[in-house]
Amino acid sequence: MTLVSDIMTPGARCIGENDSLHVAASVMAELDVGSLPICGEDSRLKGMLTDRDIVVKAVARGMDPETTRAGVLAEGKPVTVTATDDIAIALERMQEHQIRRLPVIDDHLLVGIVTQADIARSLPATDTGETVERISL
């Protein structure tokens, strides 16, 4: 059995819910990533923020990236897995919710993230292909 902890990228960096979108975009550029988990003042996961969210949900609607907080774009309850879940659970959630990045939590705190790239590097090609196909519907 393969666990989420076996393939996840550990130590995912959060953006604070009160950080500006400009700060979030700068961190994305620095890390060369297209999304970041949003964490609250209590260090708990509040949502995910993508570069597309910043452009489409904020900038295109006239929101100021310097003053708009990242937490404003955190919508709904984040879809997550735990580090001790079987990887099949992660694949199911990614497919069901059509998401490419899945936060991994332990005791309500972010401990890592599972991405399509993690799946491609770690699982058989059939699992990878099926997951990518279902996410991209």
Query: What's 53's DSSP letter?
Result: I
Architecture of domain 4-135: Roll (3.10)
Q: Which residue has the tokens 């919710």?
A: 97
Domain boundaries, the chain: 4-135
Report the pLDDT value the prediction gives residue 123, as an integer from 0 to 100. Answer: 75
Q: Report the distance separating Cα 7 and Cα 95, nearest Å.
A: 17
* Residue pair 12/103 in contact by the 8 Å Cβ criterion: yes
Report the pLDDT value the prediction gives residue 19, as an integer from 0 to 100. Answer: 97
**How do the pLDDT tens digits run along the chain, 137 residues long?**
889 999 999 988 999 999 999 999 999 999 999 999 999 998 889 999 999 999 999 999 999 999 999 999 987 788 999 999 999 999 999 989 988 899 999 988 899 999 988 888 887 777 767 777 777 76
DSSP assignment of 72-106: GG--SPPP-EETTSBHHHHHHHHHHHT-SEEEEEE
Q: Which residue has the tokens 């997951």?
A: 131
Report the pLDDT value the prediction gives residue 137, as an integer from 0 to 100. Answer: 63
Report the pLDDT value the prediction gives residue 22, as an integer from 0 to 100. Answer: 97
* Residue pair 83/111 in contact by the 8 Å Cβ criterion: yes
Report the pLDDT value the prediction gives residue 11, as an integer from 0 to 100. Answer: 87
